[in-house]
Amino acid sequence: MIGVSKGRLRGALITGVAAAATTGIASAMVTRMLMRATALVLMEPTSFSLVGSAGIALIYTVALLPGCIALALTRQRWAWAVLAAGCALLLFEAVNIGYAETQAAHDLTAVRDLGLGLVLTAIVGVYALQMYAAARWATRASVGRVLPTTSADTR
């Protein structure tokens, strides 16, 4: 990028990757457990593969990675728009997967119906927390702030 030092770009890459990967992996672990709870409520098979779980973590990370890197580099509107696009992709996929998974919800008791609603609400909450935490982590870096260079400047 023009006007961005290599050190600043390197720092933004490290911060952005850390923000997207950490929140993506944590979110994937929690949502995978909630997907298991959904399967239990629907009385469906609860077996999940390690490859599938790793794929979910990868998708969660890659979707927010460009936005996290952009936010670690700048706070301009375009960076927020890039993150919003990744969030929209995640939400779109979540709605589609949730809809497909709950097609098996037939003849549920009131308790199971309530349980399904609670689990799906929890999944939405996890997504929201992932997006918030990734944005917060990416923007917490010292990019754009002037830091003191000598001990005399801190007095």
Residue 94's pLDDT is 85
Inform me whether the pLDDT recorded for 153 exceeds 90. no
**DSSP one-letter string for 122-141:** HHHHHHHHHHHHHHHHHHSS
Residue 151's pLDDT is 47
Residue 87: HSE in the Cβ half-sphere, 13 Å Cα cutoff: 19
- pLDDT tens for 88-141 read 999 998 888 888 877 877 888 899 889 988 998 999 999 999 999 999 999 986
pLDDT category at 2 given cuts 50, 70, 90 is: low
pLDDT category at 148 given cuts 50, 70, 90 is: very low
Q: Cα 128 from chain centroid?
A: 8
**CA 131, CA 124: separation in Å to the nearest integer?**
11
Look up the pTM and report it: 0.81
Residue 138's pLDDT is 94
- pLDDT tens for 30-77 read 999 998 998 888 888 888 899 999 999 999 999 999 999 999 999 899
Tokens, residue 34: 């909630």
**DSSP one-letter string for 28-87:** HHHHHHHHHHHHHHTT------HHHHHHHHHHHHHHHHHHHHHHHH--SHHHHHHHHHHH
**CA 6, CA 9: separation in Å to the nearest integer?**
5
What CA–CA distances, in Å, run from 70 to 5, 19, 34, 52, 142?
15, 11, 30, 28, 14
**CA 53, CA 8: separation in Å to the nearest integer?**
33
Tokens, residue 90: 């995640």
